[in-house]
Structure 1
Amino acid sequence: MFRAFVAALLVLSSVSTVWADDAPLRRLNTGDDSKGWEAVGRLELGGTGFCTGSLIAPNLVLTAAHCLFDPATKTRVDFGKIEFLAGLRNGRAEAYRRVKRVVIHPSYRYDGTISADRVRNDLALLELLRPIQNTTVIPFETGVDVRSGEQVGVVSYALDRAEAPSFQEACSVMHRQKGVVVMSCDVNFGSSGAPVFRIQDGQAEIVSIISAKAQLDGDQVALGAQLDGAVELLKTQLQSGVGVTQDFMPRIKGATSVSTRNAGGAKFVRP
């Protein structure tokens, strides 16, 4: 029944609906605006597009697994060309890092179709070539057990807001079942991998990762993967040597402006 429910959701729409309790998107243009959110960054996918990722340890970035696949060939992208731009804002980032190793949720399958299984397992962990040891880029904690009716927030890059992150301080968890979270949050192409936050005692913790946008009863919604124990599983796999390792030392680029780069087509799940 739930599989049919998710399948019915997956109709892309250009219509954007604001729910009664939802906050509008706010672009984080300045250093003051971005303070505390610098660990959210843009993942450059070798010139083929971009996703959003978030630092959860000095050397670990959490994102959506489908970002690491080429939708045309359904094969993994060359992750040696992936670059994490922490806190990218108007052409400059707080840190620039290449990727050393990747691990994808063991139950994730990229086959070009969308199902509840694909959304719930749409998680990947990237080990950076060098940790980000920057006092302004503080990794986020992760949490579990996000509940229906709960208020959450999202920080993301997207096709229509690629040069600086946007923050939606409040949107609603509409439904949650079997690891899939349906939310009223405002997302667009490029928001894949964006962290969904719960604020507790003034601290933001990641409770879901954006996987897709969809439509429900004519309203645009976001679909996310609930974290549960997945992050610890991915960390354990890295510690056990699971994952694809870069065989050569990629060249580290300097802190150059990305405002002139061709962002390409932003990666996002399509039905």
Structure 2
Amino acid sequence: MQTKRPARFFALRAGGSFLKSRLSAGALALAAGVGLTLPPHPAAAVGPDYRTHLAGVTPFADPRQRVSTARPPWSAIGRVQTELGSRCTGFLISPVLVETAAHCLWLAHPQRFIQPGSVHFLRAYSGDSFTAHARVVRFIVPPDYSPNRETQSAGLDHATLVLDHPVARPDEVFHITTTPEDIKPGMAAILGGYEQNMPDVITADLHCHMTGLTQDGTGNLLLSHDCAGTHGSSGAPLLYQNASGWHVLGVQVLANTAHAGGKAVPLLALPNAVPAQAGTQ
């Protein structure tokens, strides 16, 4: 049985067992083009009343805006979607490696990770177009991460996807160099992904901040921020920019229930990970 997540936060996966929304008509057409088999999509709710019920977004004060996938940093981000209909956000850290949230790959029934070959990455996906498509051949999850114990292991909610072919040049991906020691409360941050109410484009909060460091129930580090981001933004990079370029602070995994903000996993603070059972088959 799936355990409940902490009352203050929601996991951010869209589709599947975490959220019963489905892909839009445009996404279904795209899926047909790349050989995916996805469930039908009901009419999506829109408008201010819908926005007030989005976890991770302050009611009546939604700062998110659509951004173009044609230029950095958004060109290194893509949609992670499965043939069962669930979807999240992911980002490239090498031409063949994508980072996302581990809970995006979990099947509540029958309590296991999805088969890698059922996972696809659509780089710079926007509406009816994308820069590149690849299938996942293997993924790596920290061994102590448990989707059924989110309060205890949220700081390990991270997965590395190995693609079946390169989808970018080395100079088009994020290079992970930021450590938790580099992150200070109040520093500027940016968060954007394929979110519940606009799943076919990237929407982003371009003017938010880090608020501090915290831990899950077993002491794994998490980064707190006040960036607006809701279901579907799981796996998105929490970013900042300086004179040397774009930097990844962490991987978005949790959203506050009543106001903007959430938690991200710092990549360089993770223990050595080993392949999850499903990722090695």
TM-score, normalised relative to structure 2: 0.71
Kept in 2, the 8 Å contact 1:23–1:169? The answer is no
Q: Which runs of 5+ in 1 are unaligned?
A: 1-5, 247-271
- SS at 2:228 equivalent: coil
Q: How does 1:29-178 map to 2 (within 5 A)?
A: 29=68, 31=70, 34-111=71-148, 113-115=149-151, 117-134=152-169, 138-142=172-176, 143-145=178-180, 146-178=183-215
CA distance in 1, matches of 2:68, 2:266: 29
* Match among 269, 272, 281 for residue 233 of structure 1: 272
- The match for 1:17 is 58
CA distance in 2, matches of 1:105, 1:53: 17
- The match for 1:269 is none
Kept in 1, the 8 Å contact 2:155–2:222? The answer is yes
- The match for 1:214 is 256
Q: Displacement, 1:118?
A: 2.0
* Match among 201, 224, 233 for residue 243 of structure 2: 201
CA distance in 2, matches of 1:104, 1:30: 27
Q: Displacement, 1:68?
A: 0.8
CA deviation string 1:213-241 (max 9, x = no partner)? 123xx4232121122342x834xx57xx9
- SS at 1:208 equivalent: strand
Q: Displacement, 1:211?
A: 0.6
Residue correspondences, number? 227
Structure 1 pair 148–163 and aligned structure 2 pair: CA distance change class (3 A): same
CA deviation string 1:7-50 (max 9, x = no partner)? 452369826328xxx9922212573xx44421100001113210
Kept in 2, the 8 Å contact 1:46–1:78? The answer is no
CA distance in 2, matches of 1:103, 1:23: 34
CA deviation string 1:145-176 (max 9, x = no partner)? 22222221112111111111122222122231
Q: Structure 1 runs of 4+ off > 4 angstroms?
A: none
Specify the code of the residue in structure 2 equivalent to 1:131. P
- The match for 1:191 is 233
Q: Which runs of 5+ in 2 are unaligned?
A: 12-51, 216-220
Q: Displacement, 1:243?
A: 7.8
- SS at 1:114 equivalent: helix
- SS at 2:75 equivalent: coil
- SS at 2:261 equivalent: strand
CA distance in 1, matches of 2:73, 2:213: 28
Q: Displacement, 1:51?
A: 0.5
Structure 1 pair 197–36 and aligned structure 2 pair: CA distance change class (3 A): closer
CA distance in 2, matches of 1:94, 1:41: 9
**Percent identity over the alignment?**
23
CA distance in 2, matches of 1:37, 1:29: 7
Specify the code of the residue in structure 1 equivalent to 2:105. L
CA deviation string 1:42-86 (max 9, x = no partner)? 001113210000000011000111111013432111221111000
Between stretches 50-59 and 195-204, larger displacement belongs to 195-204
- The match for 1:260 is none
TM-score, normalised relative to structure 1: 0.74
